[in-house]
Every structure is written in C-alpha cells, then in structure tokens.
Structure 1
C-alpha cells in the first residue's frame, strides 16, 4: 500500500521524529488544507502530535479501509493494546483518555464484541426496518419533534433569525434518544440536558457523565423489572445476561450516535442553502441522495478513535510498531486523490463507497436510524420554511474544536415560515413537564428544562 514518491521508512519510533501538532487554528478553520500538507510531506500515513501524544494519522482511502476491514485481525481498539498506555507513559490528565477507557462494544473485540453487537442488531431492528410498527411510530414521532421545534421558532414571529444548530439540529436527535431509551418525560429531559453538557466537554462534563451513567443504570434496572416497548427493553430481551453495568455503558453510546446525527443535519442544511442545484433536488424528493452526498463530502465524524496493531505492520510509507496508536481520518480519506479523483463532484447521486459509517467489524449499526432522522429533519425544515438564508458565508461558519467531530458550533440563518399552522405536542405547547406517575402528579410541577431553554433562545434573539 505504498504510492507516490515518498521513500519507505524503517521502523523508527515516533518519539525520535520531529512531528507537528495536528490540532491548530489552521485545522479548526480548514482541516482539508492540513490534510493536504501532511499528505504532500508524508504520503498516506503521517506522524502527528495529538494534544501531546504522538499518533500515526492515516489519510489514504485504501489505508483507512484496510485498517477498518481488519481482515487479518491485526488491529485492535482495546486501549490495553496501546503500548504507551500499558507502560504508564500516557499522562493521566490527557484530555482524551476517558474516551478510550469506556468499556463498551465500541472498543471490544472477539467474542465479547460479537455478543454486544448482536444485542444491538436485534434491538435496533424494530426501528430500522420500515415495515415494523415501531419504525412507523418512530417516524411519526420524529416528524412531531421537528414540527414542535419549528413551532417554538415561530413564537418569535413568522420571520426572524435563528441558530439552527442550537434550536433545531441538536435537540431533535436527543429527543429521539430520550424516546428510544424509554425514559419518563421529566427524567428524559434531565438526561438530554446532561448529554449536551457531556458532549460539549465543558467544566461540568465529568459530573454530567456520572449522572448519565447513574441514569442509564437506573433505567436498565427498571426495564429489567418491567420491560416496555423501547430500545433498552429490546436490548435486555436480545441478551438477558447483560449486566446493569454493561447495559449502562452500551446505552451511553446512543447519545454519541445522535450527536453525530445533529452534525449531519447541520451539514446537510448548509449544503442545501449554499448550493442551488442541491436545493432544487429536494423538490424532486432526492433528500436521501443529499444526505449521502454530505456524508461523503463533509463527514461529521472526521476522525475515528484509535486502533492499535498487534504486531509490526507496514502501512503507507512506514512500519508501524505493535501498540502504536493509529488514528483514521475519514475526511482525509474521502479527499484522497486516489478516491476523490474518480468521483463526479457535481453529480446529485454520489457513491456509497464512502467511509462515513465506517466499515468492517466496527461499522456503525445505527446508520439507517441516523439517516432517517436526518432525512426527516431536513424535509420538515424546508417544508415549513419558504425561505432560509445563511447569516454567514459557508467559509466563515464557526466550528466546534474537536479531534474527532467536524461539527458546527452554531448555524445562524434568517428564516421565513410558511403560512400554515401545524399542531404541536403537549410537551411543546406548555413548558411544564408532564407527570409520569401518580406520585409525580401529586408533586408541584416544574418547568420543563428543555423547552424553557429553547424558548429562552427565542427570547434572547
């Protein structure tokens, strides 16, 4: 897998090389330029510094696909395979370390990984098979959530300014997560707010994670006692031997998938409002194609979590030592001239050979769910708005700094709503949480934190 003029290097260690930081102002502004600079200097695999830790950064499409497919079972995601980590050479305060220490199927291997993924496959099936009643009910719920969120925007008037990231794209998938998991209304809204605190990695992220873990554990215990028609109960039915700790850790993966979905919604909206050809395609029902095109051209999960080779392997123009961390860049792989050069950048129908959903043993099991949410979100937004105009040029939009996600921090737009009334749900109509039990009904009702927050954004405009 060596292409280009770069000489094949011996197995020199990254510690002996002069390497540049990956994350920088240039990377936040335009990661594509950084990718091409690294590709020109090193080829399809480059040594980089990731927040003080040396990492092999894979930019080539063939190389990324090769590692993802893992046909020879050479590549592991288990953090214990990381040589520097096993030797206590990774600083305990390294900010990304907690990401790799989560003991879930995302980092499992072998029989344990197969067992957990089998439970996910069975539990997700009712929501991803369009003929299943649960999938149809979920479709209706997503449309209602979308209309509710747009309805809150309309409280500020039929025209105005909005941040579609904060007021639409981010809350919608997390409302779906609340429904899928089977939380009560009030408890679910607390969870949604903590999910935001966790994924935004603010000062209270660690406390939010602990509350989320506790909430997932309590939910798993409740569903073991009294199953329902929800993802948590379906996971238990698929594998009754799952422990409460295993269930909690697996369920914590769902918000991550749906925050990815929120970023995909934003990226699709940007593509539609800035590209008249794509906007025209929506009128002929090609939303699925637009979502696929954006997943190819601007994948929200730009870089994947580490893989570690179990033995010395050649990759690109280097020999990667066993236990070295390898970070796969989906965004850079999609821009690899060996892959992108064969694509028609102006075609409405784009290839499905992209890597936005991964590949191989760890391929995303919820990609149909994420696509469904994104498609409905975009469809309802443009059906309800007769005009959407970006407040900033695409190259001036603010992005959230992240080594993994390519996600907008905000998406300011000027909107004009169609002159149609759409019924809103009880939760959105009154910003007070509905009681989920007789005991809760007897207690003083508290204002809904989610809808109060969203209405506060409207008033703050």
Structure 2
C-alpha cells in the first residue's frame, strides 16, 4: 500500500504485453507492484518465483479469497470487475482436504474422456472430428475460396460444442453459458451479472443430473462424490467452460503459429501437431496470468517482503520470458521443453490438460486437412487481441482460405449438402437425444454473410 504502482492493463499491455513485462522486470525485478483495475497486487514475472509459489500453495500460499486482507477489510470496491471471479468458491480456490476431495472427483469424472482406450474417449474423439468438419462445412458454403474469422467461426464454437456434450446441456443453453463465461473472464461491465446467470444454469443442471443421471461428466462427478451439495456441484461445473475457453484461445494461437512458420506447416504431415501445441503453450500461453494467491505469512519474494494477506498474480507469460528460463530454450526448435508452466504446477495444476490438447490437436489437424491454403488476412503483429487480465486470446483471426481439391469435388458432387443444410450438431445430450436446433448455425452463417 505504501508503494506507487502503475496500472497493468493499458493499451500498451493489450498491444504487446511482453514489452510491459520487460519494463516492469527492469524496474522492479521478478516481482512488481501493479494496479489491477483499481486494486494493488504483486505481479510475479520470474520463472523461479512463479514455480515456487505454485508448488507451495497450501504451505505458504493460499488461493482462498478469505485470506485476502484487503477483501476482509472491505477495501475492494463492490463493483470491481473481477470480484465475480473470486466468488466462485470452487476447487480452484480451495485448499487442504477440501481441495483434494474435489480434485479427486474431477479426476474420476474426466478419466473416461482422457483415457484413449475408454469408449467415452473414443466417442468424444469422433464427436470432435464431426463438430470440426461441420464448422468447416459452414465456412465453405460460399465456395471453395473465401475469407473467414477462425476465432468466431471455428475456434470458439468448437469447445462450446464439446462443453455441451460433456455437461449434458442443450445447445441453446450451453451457448448462453459459454458466452457468459467469456464476459466474466474478460472482466467487462456485466461480469457480475454474467456470473449470476452462469451459476443459475449450472445449479439447474446439477439438480437435473442428480434426479436423472446420464453418461456425462456432470453425472460422473456426482457418482465420484455423492455428498456434493447442489451449490458445490454447480460451482465445480462452472470451471469446465472456462477450461474450454482456454482451449479456444490455444487453437487460435496454434493456427497462427502454423500459418506464420513454414517449418511448422511443413512438419504437420509428419504427425507433429501435438508437439506444436506444446511449443505454442510455451511461446504464447493462452492463460497469460493466473488468479491470485495470498501470502499466509510474511514471505520474501523477489526484492520484496509480501505481507500476510497480500495478493500475488502469477504471470505465466512473464515467467516464460524470464531470461533465466528463456535463454536456455531454443525458440526455433520443433520440439520444445515440457518445463513450461502453461498447465500450472503443484496442487492446482490443470487436470484437463489431455482433453484440451486433444481438442486443439483435432481442430488444427482437421483445419489443415480440409484447406489446402490458409493465409492470415492481417500481418501477425496486427491481429486484434481481447483485453483480459487473465487470457491472451485473439478477438478475431481473419484468414483467406482455399479448400483442398478433394473436398471441393465432394462438395460439388452434392454428398455434403445435408451437412451444409443443417450440421450434425443440433444440441446433443449425453443420452444421445436431440434438442431443438439452436441459433448457433444461423449465427455462424450470419458471420459469413456479414463479411
């Protein structure tokens, strides 16, 4: 509170956060005091320091907002845009035995989808391929060549479809939830209202699945932890669309890397997409900054002593750029280190890493199988980014495309016309029932016609 702090989220940060990181690093070292939308926080940029905090969560650091001294003293404005994020009170913010029990439930519920030999994982893989192809069919309805926004018309809708399938939502309900997740993550003026709508939707879903379980992640969560209250389960389910928003950003970042790097593009035929996903997670992590940790006692970090109850915001992007780490990395190598922190570390590391990687790998593979040419419609350094304190995600990804000749021939022969009229995904539930067709396809076609 006694330090003069500069705002973190500025136009400079939106345009090039790496330059802001280096300015802060040169002035303050690996830990910098910053202002985050009117609230002072410690911004951790050093690789060693970030890893230290991640691994010591529970001993010296806590994620539980009750540890936040300024919050307990009512010094956080009621209309602070990020308040809703810290009110979720899910396993992402718990510690000790409570957190371990919740993560055990997640591990059990995700296992059928992340174990390649499990029937659910195999069915999910086929579904992701089908969803990808459906979205590409819509992109290509205007002809074998054209222009598309791969963020709005492909990368974002695809994880939405996966989320709906996993949770057991109808499409229309799932669309509303994911849009509200984006509003909450982006910390816009309606973030608090978005959180309330998301919570209501998840509570209704939790109640429905307890009464009538299905073959879906929500029901598997209940089976793994029968003593879930409706409130607890709703708050846990809130986390999945957030993971899949991360995945949408990862898809975009991988596509940009492939298009922009001829060596990477040439290597895709050799089955290296998953390695490219790992490389992009290192060089351009979608989750640029993590939600706060709070010091449980006064602790030295970088050049400063962090007082008990002070918040620290861990910068994954800043840590990856730390010279102590970055100088040991060959940024041009096709194979890159697994020592990056894009999936976190320690007791709060990401449990859905395999799922996110699978979705991204399939999405990129199908895209480059179906299109013989993909070219950025803007220079890479002019692509527009979404302003967000947590994500480094493209607002749009404009490309020029050309369909692979074999797919042009298939489309011209008429065998694709059913998919073009109404793609296969019309609101599947985990039980295989079909909900009423949603407005998703109309919306996506509107984006295409509106260019």
- In the alignment, the residues of structure 2 paired with residue 297 and residue 86 of structure 1 have an alpha-carbon distance, to the nearest angstrom, of 37
Specify whether residues 364 and 72 from structure 1 end up closer, same or farther in structure 2 by C-alpha distance, changes over 3 A only.
closer
In 1, are the aligned partners of 2:222 and 2:228 still within 8 Å (CA)?
Answer: yes
In 2, are the aligned partners of 1:144 and 1:424 still within 8 Å (CA)?
Answer: no
Deviations 1:133-164 (A, max 9, x none): 10000000000000000000011211111110
Match of 1:418 among 404, 411, 436: 404
TM-score by length of 2: 0.93
Task: Compute the displacement of 1:211 (Å).
Answer: 2.8
In 2, are the aligned partners of 1:174 and 1:192 still within 8 Å (CA)?
Answer: yes
**2:395 aligned partner:** 409
**1:451 aligned partner:** 441
Query: The residue matched to 1:323 in structure 2 has which SS?
Result: coil
Aligned residue runs from structure 1 range 128-207, under 5 A: 128-201=114-187, 204-207=190-193
Deviations 1:426-451 (A, max 9, x none): 78743895798xxx99xxx9762111
**2:277 aligned partner:** 291
- In the alignment, the residues of structure 1 paired with residue 363 and residue 155 of structure 2 have an alpha-carbon distance, to the nearest angstrom, of 8
**1:347 aligned partner:** 333
Task: Compute the displacement of 1:186 (Å).
Answer: 4.7
**2:95 aligned partner:** 109
Task: Compute the displacement of 1:76 (Å).
Answer: 0.3
Task: Compute the displacement of 1:364 (Å).
Answer: 0.5
Provide the alpha-carbon RMSD of the alignment.
2.2
TM-score by length of 1: 0.91
Specify whether residues 388 and 315 from structure 1 end up closer, same or farther in structure 2 by C-alpha distance, changes over 3 A only.
same
In 2, are the aligned partners of 1:173 and 1:262 still within 8 Å (CA)?
Answer: yes
Task: Compute the displacement of 1:95 (Å).
Answer: 1.1
In terms of mean alpha carbon deviation, does 187-196 or 245-254 score higher?
A: 187-196
In the alignment, structure 1 residue 398 sits paired with structure 2 residue 390: no
Task: Compute the displacement of 1:22 (Å).
Answer: 1.1
Mark the runs of 5 or more structure 1 residues left unpaired by the alignment: 1-14
In 1, are the aligned partners of 2:372 and 2:403 still within 8 Å (CA)?
Answer: yes
Task: Compute the displacement of 1:278 (Å).
Answer: 0.8
- In the alignment, the residues of structure 1 paired with residue 306 and residue 189 of structure 2 have an alpha-carbon distance, to the nearest angstrom, of 36
In 1, are the aligned partners of 2:84 and 2:192 still within 8 Å (CA)?
Answer: no
In the alignment, structure 1 residue 74 sits paired with structure 2 residue 60: yes
Specify whether residues 71 and 191 from structure 1 end up closer, same or farther in structure 2 by C-alpha distance, changes over 3 A only.
closer
**1:460 aligned partner:** 450
In 2, are the aligned partners of 1:148 and 1:424 still within 8 Å (CA)?
Answer: no
Match of 1:430 among 411, 422, 425: 422
Specify whether residues 151 and 255 from structure 1 end up closer, same or farther in structure 2 by C-alpha distance, changes over 3 A only.
same
**1:4 aligned partner:** none
Mark the runs of 5 or more structure 2 residues left unpaired by the alignment: none
**1:47 aligned partner:** 33
